[in-house]
């Protein structure tokens, strides 16, 4: 039987594996994280720790496929701008088919009924008018919000179904793949135990699916085959996590949960957008070991009185600079340095007045994350802050109160995206039998499309096994901006 190495069992890896369960190929799955049933919820959420440990636990650092374990919001609409760029690669109908499959799988395995948020016609009319008057563009999406608390049960149940169907699968948990090297038409996959290395081993495989996420993007660039891939540099998003009263946003929360609203800044013509809204949610640190970012999540049962969401400014770079990740990490490290090691928090009113926040004792909005009060403008470029302030002032026309002085801004909230890799409609690269899926391919930005790309790759391997032709790789098209 031919062998396949599946590297990374996050959102895309899991759905690729689902396609391959029971197929005529021996699948070896590698993931640095522990078996799903042993993965734990964030210790801060559980009340077991007050702050992130200096060495991040594997909860949100690479190792636990963050988005399908943390918050677990899934965009279900095939959109040309939201959630990734698969629309460009496979077209609307094919993408929607994959997203429908993801939706059906998650709902089937959910331990409780999870409502699908679908805007109705009246809501759409309402937001279109409000957004236009505010100078913003609304992008339609259907959404499934599973919540961090339901994530372990859903993922474990999907994996159990795969296990029952797949005697052809061998798991290598707690295992890091060190390298993938081509040997004639095969791949030599070198791996070792992640936490206790010292017993390196090798697998020779006929196919390889690389689904290592954004956390593995840097590793990917160091692989032997990488120089033969057709790539374009990725993009960065620099922004803040906004925390405000849930009463200011309740109208849009009730109608949409998270409306995707785009804005072009007057200052620099940059694209500014919201991302990852968490009505009645909590702001959390996202510990990347060398720097700490902020993030947010919400739960199905425990609620706060705040809403948090990111406002991000997108940037791509042209020659000679080609390391957008380094750029965003450097900004994050400067913020951490000013804050004594973690995130900074500042009132919007103080940012606008050019002064640091000293205390939040009398602030209307009480923070859900303890962070150092300070001045974000000492670390962030002016054009980024101008874009954020303009965005919030436009949003205030839809959600009155949001741009008030008491609204809190946490930094750093930075996202960087890997290089965009040329692939065909089944996520196969120019290297035959090498598939790169999910966020590590840069074609996806969220759980829904990452899982969809896994489905496409799984189907691609099945086509290869049956010797069916796959159309050649798509030309590389760099998007204006694609968002989650």
Ligand X SMILES: Cc1cc2nc3c(=O)[nH]c(=O)nc-3n(C[C@H](O)[C@H](O)[C@H](O)COP(=O)(O)OP(=O)(O)OC[C@H]3O[C@@H](n4cnc5c(N)ncnc54)[C@H](O)[C@@H]3O)c2cc1C
Binding site for ligand X (CB under 6 A): 7-13, 30-33, 60, 62-63, 65-68, 70-74, 176-177, 211-213, 215-216, 219, 286, 295, 438-440, 445-448, 450, 484
Residue 34: CB atoms within 10 A of its CB come to: 16
In the complex with ligand X, the residue whose CB is nearer, 233 or 446, is 446
In the complex with ligand X, the residue whose CB is nearer, 229 or 394, is 229
DSSP state of 483: B
Using CA atoms, how far apart are residues 424 and 228, in angstroms rounded to an integer?
A: 15
In the complex with ligand X, the residue whose CB is nearer, 13 or 234, is 13
In the complex with ligand X, the residue whose CB is nearer, 66 or 114, is 66
Residue 282: CB atoms within 10 A of its CB come to: 23
CB contact set of 43 (below 8 Å; sequence gap of 6+) = 49, 57, 59
Question: Are 95 and 78 in contact, with CB atoms under 8 Å apart?
Answer: yes
Min CB(71)–ligand X separation in Å: 4
Min CB(15)–ligand X separation in Å: 8
Min CB(238)–ligand X separation in Å: 16
In the complex with ligand X, the residue whose CB is nearer, 284 or 424, is 284
In the complex with ligand X, the residue whose CB is nearer, 72 or 262, is 72
DSSP state of 319: T
In the complex with ligand X, the residue whose CB is nearer, 364 or 431, is 431
- 121 token code pair: 């016609």
In the complex with ligand X, the residue whose CB is nearer, 7 or 434, is 7
C-alpha separations of 23 from 28, 169, 322, 335 in Å: 13, 9, 41, 49
Which residue's C-beta sits nearest to ligand X?
A: 10
Min CB(121)–ligand X separation in Å: 26
Min CB(444)–ligand X separation in Å: 6
How would you label 213-247 residue by residue, b for 16+ Cβ within 10 Å and e otherwise? bbbbbebbeebebbeebebebbbbbbbbbbbbbbe
Using CA atoms, how far apart are residues 74 and 102, in angstroms rounded to an integer?
A: 9
Min CB(242)–ligand X separation in Å: 16
Collapsed DSSP state (helix, strand, coil) of residue 475: coil
| CA-based torsion, 38, 43, 48, 54: positive or negative | positive
Question: Can you state the percent helix, strand and coil of the chain, rounding each to 5?
Answer: 30, 25, 40
Using CA atoms, how far apart are residues 199 and 4, in angstroms rounded to an integer?
A: 21
Min CB(60)–ligand X separation in Å: 5
Min CB(197)–ligand X separation in Å: 12
């Amino acid at each position: 039987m031919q062998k396949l190495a599946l590297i990374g069992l996050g959102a895309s890896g899991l759905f690729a594996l689902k396609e391959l369960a029971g197929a005529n190929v021996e699948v070896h799955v590698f993931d640095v994280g522990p078996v799903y049933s042993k993965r734990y919820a964030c210790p801060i959420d559980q009340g077991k720790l007050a702050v992130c440990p200096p060495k991040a636990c594997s909860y949100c650092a690479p190792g636990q496929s963050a988005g399908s374990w943390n918050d677990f919001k899934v965009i279900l609409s095939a959109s040309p701008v939201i959630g990734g760029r698969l629309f460009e690669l496979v077209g609307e109908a094919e993408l929607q088919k994959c997203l429908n499959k993801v939706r059906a799988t998650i709902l089937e395995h959910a331990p409780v009924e999870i409502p699908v948020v679908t805007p109705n016609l009246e809501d759409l009319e309402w937001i279109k008018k409000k957004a236009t008057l505010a100078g913003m563009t609304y992008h339609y999406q259907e959404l499934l919000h599973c919540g961090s608390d339901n994530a372990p049960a859903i993922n474990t149940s999907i994996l159990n179904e795969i296990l029952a169907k797949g005697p052809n699968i061998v798991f290598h948990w707690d295992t890091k793949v060190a390298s993938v090297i081509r040997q004639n038409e095969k791949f030599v996959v070198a791996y070792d135990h992640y936490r206790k290395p010292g017993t390196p081993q090798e697998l020779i495989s006929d196919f390889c699916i690389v689904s290592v996420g954004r956390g593995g993007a840097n590793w990917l660039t160091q692989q032997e085959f990488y120089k033969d891939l057709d790539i374009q540099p990725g993009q960065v998003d620099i922004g803040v996590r906004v925390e405000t009263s849930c009463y200011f946003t309740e109208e849009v929360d009730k109608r949409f949960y998270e409306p995707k609203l785009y804005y072009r800044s007057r200052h620099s013509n940059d694209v500014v957008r919201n991302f990852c809204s968490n009505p009645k949610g909590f702001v959390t640190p996202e510990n990347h070991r060398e720097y700490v970012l902020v993030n947010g999540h919400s739960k199905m049962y425990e609620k706060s009185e705040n809403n948090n969401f990111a406002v991000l400014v997108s940037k791509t770079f042209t020659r000679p600079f080609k390391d957008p990740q380094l750029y965003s990490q450097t900004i994050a490290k400067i913020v951490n340095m000013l804050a004594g090691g973690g995130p900074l928090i500042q009132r919007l009113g103080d940012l606008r007045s050019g002064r640091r926040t000293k205390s939040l004792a009398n602030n209307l909005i009480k923070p859900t994350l303890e962070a150092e009060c300070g001045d974000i403008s000492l670390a962030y470029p002016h054009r980024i802050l101008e874009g954020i302030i303009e965005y919030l002032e436009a949003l205030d026309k839809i959600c009155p109160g949001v741009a008030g002085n008491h609204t809190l801004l946490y930094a750093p909230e930075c996202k960087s995206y890997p290089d965009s890799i040329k692939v065909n409609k089944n996520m196969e690269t120019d290297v035959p039998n090498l598939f790169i899926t999910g966020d590590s391919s840069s074609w996806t930005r969220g759980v829904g499309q990452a899982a969809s790309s896994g489905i496409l790759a799984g189907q691609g391997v099945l086509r290869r096994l049956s010797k069916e032709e796959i159309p050649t790789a798509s030309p590389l098209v760099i998007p204006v901006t694609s968002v989650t």
